[in-house]
Chain A
Amino acid sequence: MHKCDLDISINKLSKIEGHADLDIKIRNGKAREVNLRVEENRRFYMQAVEGKPALAAPQMVSRICGTCSVAHLTCAIEAVEKALGVKSSEQTIIMRKLMMYSLMIRDHALHLYFFALPDIFGIDSILDLANNKKELIHEALHIKEAGNNLSNLIGGRAVHAPFEVVGGFVNMVDNKKVKPIVKELKSIRKYVLNLAEIFYQCQWELKRDTNFVALTTDDFSFLEGKICDSRGTCTMEKNYGKRLTKVVMPYSQAKGFEFEGSEYMVGSLSRLNLNQGSLREKTKKSMKKYLKLFPSDNIYLNNLAQAIEIMHSIDHSIELLENTEFKKEEIIKPKKQNGKGVGVVEAPRGTLYYSMEIKNGKIKKAGIATPTAQNLLNMREDLRELVSGVCQSANPKNQWEKIIKKQAERIIRAYDPCMSCASHFLKVNWK
């Protein structure tokens, strides 16, 4: 066998949310060191919210991530509500589900079309698609716009939604505007089928035995349920933090997490591996061929899973919108000023955890575990797996470096990582 000793550096990984670099040191065919360095400058929101009014905190932490602000907002609201004993109305829960669905539609579409598709077609950016494929750009923008319009209808805006607050929504949904949104959502289903087919055709594979973790909900709504893993255990939301350990990553502005002492994966693939039975019937029918591939250990299938989730988000949104007559409701006020609460939601990239300790109506301590931070160690192990595979392969030795570089970027991209999120992590382990 040839000796496989290489030092690989990728400066500024492209087509991911935010800024990260990667160094891999390979000796004797094994990745001795894998440094995935998050270069996103920290903004210290976990410190900044200390001492701020609890009711204002969710809008503040929404600014941790513009990409998935709805998930941060919704999750932080849940943590504050649990701490202060606020029980939201049925209509509020429906509206929060719709907000999460609008986020999934927009955000998964952005990732799949803008970040993942160029790899598959071997082009630099989606804007460089050949003329016969140009309609894909229109389909992408159309799907995103439908998600955007749904966000506007319910939350007032797609980024840092102003209507969603502790205790409810400050603005009432205009029932007259519901119908056109439903129509638009129905019109994009066919594009999602095209999209799923592209990822289904893609033959890339990297399989590794790891633990898949996700909040599993009865209706696949990303909002409320138990956190389960593929090793067969389940935890209540409030105990999730206790099962996580923070891990220092050298030279990085981020920290990683272990679940029960080892690396694990959160995200679309985990959700489908653990909970595909809860998808809408209509989604199951349209996506039958694709759903057969799950559960799977192949990390690349995370992208197909995202496409399936777009379809589910469309189908369930349509049902909710068609069956709800929105009414004006008062915001529910907190009954107390002190307490501790945990919020857990499934953000597009996986399980998002907030803990809030509130004293006299102000935040005493806030903690967070973002999906990308939780995935960092799993990515690292996948990259090790990639290296040993390539170093044992029949590819000519002078190609190894090129192959590893190319595939390393693809693997990282398959997770759809978000570095703005990764640079935020728990200050303390909540034991």
Chain B
Amino acid sequence: MAKKKKRVGIFSFTCDEGCSIFLVEIFNKKLAGWLEKIELVYFLSIKDHTDAKNMDIAVVEGSITSEEDKKRIENIRKNSKILIGMGSCAITGMPSCYRNNLNKEQLKEISGHLKKFKFLPKCMGIKEVVKLDGEVPGCPMDDKKFIEVFEKYI
């Protein structure tokens, strides 16, 4: 019997989506082969009908800046055996967490927005909020390293 395909989801949090765009470039050469081993159950905004439950691998990018972000990542963590962080935002929060370094005056300027949209007191990397099983550093992430980490789990 053919081996059951790994259920994989790709998710984006607060960032420029540069790592997932870079991932889609990696797909140019790799997707066809990977689809023999994986099923994409959640693919950013490319699919309408998605079910992000019981995943084997979730691949995530970005930072956690709002209450909503935090709820979502905790939920994804619960629903996935393996969590791989793409890029330096996921690991350290930077560069998407620049707001942590703004001066007092600038913070005052944006404070209304932070409150209105329920931003957290501090912006964080995903790694600070939940456990990452695999990490791919870089901005954008290093492509060879991603392939190595991802292929280890599929």
Contacts and interface: CB of A to CB of B under 8 A. Distances in A.
Interface in A1-38: 13-19
B95 A47 contact: no
A159 B47 contact: no
Interface in B91-130: 95-99, 101-102, 106, 109-110, 113, 117, 119
A404 B91 CA distance: 42
Given A47-B109, A144-B25, A420 B17 contact: yes
A115 B45 CA distance: 9
A413 to B, nearest CB: 10
Interface stretch (B26-34, B74-82, B145-153): B26-34
Contact of A41 (B31, B69, B101): B69
Contacts of B25: 106, 144-145, 148, 158-159
A66 B16 contact: yes
Q: How large is the interface on A (under 10, 10 to 19, 20 to 34, 35 or more residues)?
A: 35 or more
B47 A63 contact: no
A80 B96 CA distance: 22
A204 B43 CA distance: 27
Contacts of A66: 15-22, 140
Contacts of B47: 14, 124-125, 127
A63 B139 contact: yes
B58 interface: no
Given A127-B40, A159-B22, A43 B110 contact: no
B65 A41 contact: yes
A241 B79 CA distance: 47
B24 A110 contact: yes
A144 B49 CA distance: 25
A117 to B, nearest CB: 11
A430 interface: no
Contacts of B48: 14-15, 124-125
A114 B28 CA distance: 13
B102 A41 contact: no
B46 interface: yes
A44 interface: yes
Contacts of A44: 98-99, 102, 106, 110
A69 interface: yes
B17 A47 contact: no
Contact of B28 (A40, A63, A145): A145
A364 interface: no
A13 B46 CA distance: 10
Given A115-B46, A141-B28, A144-B28, A48 B18 contact: no
A179 B115 CA distance: 55
Nearest to A152: B25
Nearest to A424: B16
Nearest to A12: B45
Contacts of A237: none
Interface of B: 14-22, 24-25, 27-29, 31-32, 35, 40, 43, 45-49, 65-66, 69, 95-99, 101-102, 106, 109-110, 113, 117, 119, 139-140
Interface of A: 13-19, 40-45, 47-48, 50, 60, 63-67, 69, 106, 110, 114-115, 124-127, 138, 141-142, 144-145, 148, 157-160, 253, 420
11 contacts: A16-B45, A41-B117, A43-B15, A63-B18, A115-B46, A124-B47, A127-B40, A142-B28, A144-B24, A144-B28, A253-B117
Given A14-B45, A69-B18, A160-B18, 17 more contacts: A16-B45, A17-B45, A40-B14, A43-B16, A43-B98, A47-B102, A47-B106, A48-B99, A50-B106, A66-B20, A66-B140, A125-B47, A138-B32, A158-B22, A160-B139, A160-B140, A420-B16
Which 7 pairs of residues, A with B, have the shortest CB-CB distance? A66-B18, A48-B98, A145-B28, A41-B14, A66-B16, A125-B47, A66-B21
